[in-house]
């Protein structure tokens, strides 16, 4: 007989405790919170991977542990924390064991393990993450909602059969895309429902989804009109859009006929005589553009309200507020969470602070005009909270024409730029507020004034500094009021 094997080192999956099997039972599907709780507790107890059995649906011979006490947070590299939620939805029954083995090795000396792509564990986890990414892409691209007939309130239902447990990860995408609709997504493993709040339910059936609705005929016509027979590639089509999804996609009913006719249509395109493009008269084109421009603030606001947000997610456009001919106009950055929900500018915490400062400076908010450089709320979703995200220079430029037309219609004597984004929109330049604070020239028929945005005051951690900054802000508003007079 050979020599007995030594216990593996912690980096290889060993630990201080060699015996005893720990059975961890998690919920079926993608139980991310359950895995995090269990992993923290197991790491804190120094339980090595080889002594753990992870189970979901099928019971283990050893019996599951009942303890659920959470351990201390784990200090992990960012690459690991980003990988875990992208692997937990995988259908592989070993996913939790593989992830725990990764955590164990990283926390026992291999902090740069994720950079070693040749490592078998890292390689396998990367492949699993890519599989989840592909599955999410297919769900986003190939899911089709159908209107439920015969109901009072309009409701839409879709059926999808994902390869992995991705319903929870995919649902926020459809919330952002179809926030104004009431809908349900049914899968063989569970269902997601949106009626202003997102909640999950039991599995659905394919039979619960209507076979079609009136919208699908128009969608098929659009698909047929954009189909290019000269670029037909069946292998690429099948690779990008597998046949398993065809039953749920209305446009696929037209594919067989389009493929059969592709050769003849392509040949006809080749034989057709080329035609010269129609040249537009630049003078008439400019005149037409002038006619299409809004002729009032109300017409401009109607255009803004109809326009889609540059960055998806906003509930609605937030228009300016105040009288035409106002003596002072205030330009902020972009709407916040409360502004997006209420459709009014400066109604959140920063807006309330601005109202108090205006009153102390002797400015009647009702007689001023308040607006933002960017008209839609841009945010990052963290749990249920929508966290404000600063607009980019390109996004500010996209909305700049609207702001210029808006101020032309309001025609104020003085425009106050609140913060760096407003200054960028009004001047086209990145100018530090500390250097430019005070009277300014914006190259327009109105006078200008630059000061901080009230949200800056809210972010100051020190109460004394906050009080001093607030008083300086009120003094700026008094100076601006005097200039406008």
204-259: per-residue pLDDT in tens? 998 888 876 555 655 566 666 666 766 666 666 666 666 666 666 666 666 677 67
pLDDT of residue 17: 41
Query: Is 387 in a helix, a strand, or coil?
Result: strand
What are the angstrom distances between the C-alpha of 398 and each of 171, 373, 374, 392, 428? 29, 10, 8, 10, 12
Helix ranges (DSSP H) in 4-56: 32-44
Residues whose CB is less than 8 angstroms from the CB of residue 364 and which lie 6 or more positions away in sequence, other chains included: 358
What residue spans define the domains of the chain?
Answer: 10-136, 143-208, 214-262, 295-484
H or E stretch covering 378 = none
Closest CA to 116 of 108, 107, 125: 125
What pLDDT, on the 0 to 100 scale, is given for residue 170? 94
Count of C-beta atoms within a 10 Å radius of residue 403: 21
Tell me the whole-structure pTM to 2 decimals. 0.49
Cα(261)–Cα(216) distance, rounded to whole angstroms?
Answer: 22
pLDDT at 261: 72
pLDDT at 10: 40
374-408 residue pLDDT tens = 999 998 888 888 888 888 888 898 889 899 999 99
- Which regions of the chain are under pLDDT 70? 1-19, 57-69, 151-152, 212-227, 229-255, 258, 266, 269-292
Distance between CA 473 and CA 452 in Å, rounded? 7
Q: How far is Cα 429 from Cα 242, in angstroms, rounded to an integer?
A: 49
Pick 295-484's CATH classification: 3.90.950.20, 3.30.70.20, 3.40.470.10, 3.40.640.10.
3.40.470.10
* Beta carbons of 261 and 230 less than 8 angstroms apart: no
Position 256 scores a pLDDT of 72
pLDDT of residue 166: 95
pLDDT of residue 60: 45
Of 100, 87, 229, whose CA–CA distance to 165 is shortest? Answer: 87
User: Which residue from 48, 44, 40, 57 is spatially nearest to 11, judged by alpha carbons?
Assistant: 48
pLDDT for 1 equals 36
Give the pLDDT of residue 420: 93
Residue 44 has a pLDDT of 93
In Å, the largest CA–CA distance within the chain is 100
């Amino acid at each position: 007989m050979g020599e007995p094997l030594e216990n593996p080192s912690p980096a290889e999956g060993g630990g201080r405790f060699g015996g005893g099997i720990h059975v961890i039972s998690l919920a079926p599907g993608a139980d991310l919170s359950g895995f995090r709780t269990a992993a923290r507790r197991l790491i804190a107890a120094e339980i090595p991977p080889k002594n753990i059995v992870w189970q979901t649906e099928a019971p283990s011979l050893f019996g599951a542990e009942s303890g659920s006490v959470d351990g201390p947070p784990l200090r992990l590299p960012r690459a690991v924390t980003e990988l875990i939620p992208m692997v937990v939805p995988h259908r592989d029954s070993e996913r939790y064991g593989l992830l725990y083995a990764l955590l164990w090795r990283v926390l026992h000396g291999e902090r740069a393990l994720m950079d070693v792509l040749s490592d078998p564990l890292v390689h396998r986890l990367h492949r699993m993450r890519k599989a989840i990414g592909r599955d999410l892409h297919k769900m986003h691209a190939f899911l089709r909602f159908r209107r439920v007939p015969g109901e009072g309130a309009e409701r839409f239902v879709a059926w999808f059969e994902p390869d992995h447990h991705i319903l929870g990860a995919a649902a926020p995408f459809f919330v952002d895309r179809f926030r104004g609709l009431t809908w349900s997504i049914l899968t063989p493993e569970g269902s997601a429902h949106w009626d202003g709040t997102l909640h999950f339910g039991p599995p659905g059936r394919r039979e619960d989804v209507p076979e079609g609705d009136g919208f699908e005929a128009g969608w098929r016509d659009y698909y047929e009109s954009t189909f290019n027979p000269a670029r037909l590639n069946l292998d690429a089509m099948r690779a990008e859009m597998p046949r398993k999804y065809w039953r749920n996609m209305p446009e696929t009913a037209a594919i067989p006929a389009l493929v059969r006719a592709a050769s003849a249509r392509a040949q006809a395109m080749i034989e057709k005589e080329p035609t010269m493009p129609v040249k537009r008269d630049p003078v008439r084109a400019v005149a037409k553009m002038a006619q299409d421009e809004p002729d009032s603030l109300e017409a401009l606001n109607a255009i803004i309200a109809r326009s889609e947000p540059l960055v998806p997610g906003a509930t609605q456009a937030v228009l300016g507020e105040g009288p035409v001919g106002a003596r002072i106009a205030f330009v902020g950055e972009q709407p916040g969470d409360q502004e997006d929900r209420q459709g009014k500018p400066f109604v959140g915490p920063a807006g309330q602070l601005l109202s108090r400062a205006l009153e102390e400076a002797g400015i009647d908010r009702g007689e001023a005009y308040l607006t933002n450089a960017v008209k839609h709320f841009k945010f990052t979703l963290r749990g249920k909270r929508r966290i404000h995200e600063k607009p980019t220079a390109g996004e500010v430029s996209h909305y700049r024409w609207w702001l210029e037309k808006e101020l032309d219609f309001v025609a104020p004597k003085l425009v106050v730029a609140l913060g760096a984004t407003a200054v960028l929109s009004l001047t086209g330049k990145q100018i530090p507020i500390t250097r430019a604070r005070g009277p300014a020239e914006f190259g327009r028929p109105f006078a200008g004034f630059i000061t901080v945005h009230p949200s800056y005051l809210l972010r100051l951690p020190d109460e004394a500094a906050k009080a001093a900054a607030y008083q300086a802000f009120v003094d700026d508003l008094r100076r601006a009021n005097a200039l406008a007079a």
